[in-house]
Amino acid sequence: MSSDKLASRVVTPGAGPAYDHGDKFKVKKLDFFYGNFNALTDISVDIKRHAVTAFIGPSGCGKSTFLRCLNRMNDLIPGTRVEGRITLDDHDIYGSGVDPVDLRRRVGMIFQQPNPFPMSIYDNVAYGPKLHGVRKKSELDAIVEESLKRANVWKEVKDILGRGGLTLSGGQQQRLCIARVLAVEPEVLLMDEPCSAIDPTSVQKIEDLMAELKDRITIVIVTHNMQQAARVSDYTAFFLQEVAGEPAHLVEYDRTASLFTTPRDRRTEDYITGRFG
């Protein structure tokens, strides 16, 4: 299911040799608007391929809004607009001729609340491949099994594939949703607080899953959990809205180890040490 690849201050990671595999996304001078409200301003950042990047910051600072810009989910909200440029593998995702549906296959998304379809576990995972033309049951069987294995949920559901996805526990539902996204072979996985509504055991399994997947998939996660960001991510971006009603912006972006131990901006240090937020 492969498909064809679709002079403000630029915040870049600090120097160092570790896990730099080139840029998957390049964001330049991004402003985002809900109607007349400028929610994000002057965002310029390069997101590395085959790494986990965490977005942190207080509630309401635009993390999830920016995440949804990366696969154009905000297009579904009337009155929104983007200024600036986002490229995926050097192709402008807001350019003419880009199919948002195909973009969202390449850049899959997991939401805060698990959202299985009201159908069987099997059909949840097979839905995307069927939509993209896979019809042979043997092929669908293989995709379903492989996707559930990659999502660390196969052993728990392999004997109940005909049961409704909504009958699973919250943590199992979230991993089922991840399997559903993985079934269409995305290049990027966006995760909007994927662990905030599930049990600790499932949190561990999803964090392990991110570590396993990043060799093949670029992962971007929004989290309010500083410990989680430190555990799972290779890079971290800190967003902040300093004045209510004013647009949020990107304060600092660096390798996670550097940002958490030697942040370059005092506001970053204040946030990660709990002085506000």
Which one is the CATH code of 23-272: 3.90.180.10, 3.40.50.300, 3.30.560.10, 2.102.10.10? 3.40.50.300
**pLDDT tens sequence across 126-139:** 999 999 999 999 99
For the entire predicted model, the pTM comes to: 0.91
Handedness of CA 167, 171, 172, 178 (dihedral sign): positive
User: For the chain, what is the mean pLDDT?
Assistant: 92
Q: How far is it, in rounded angstroms, from Cα 65 to Cα 250?
A: 13
Q: Are 248 and 222 in contact (CB under 8 A)?
A: no
Every domain of the chain and the residues it spans: 23-272
Phi, psi of 276 (to 5 degrees): -155, 170
**pLDDT tens sequence across 164-173:** 999 999 999 9
Could you tell me which of 86, 94, 77 has the C-alpha nearest to residue 33? 77
**Strands 218-222, 188-192: parallel, antiparallel or unpaired by DSSP?**
parallel
Is the pLDDT at 115 greater than 70? The verdict is yes
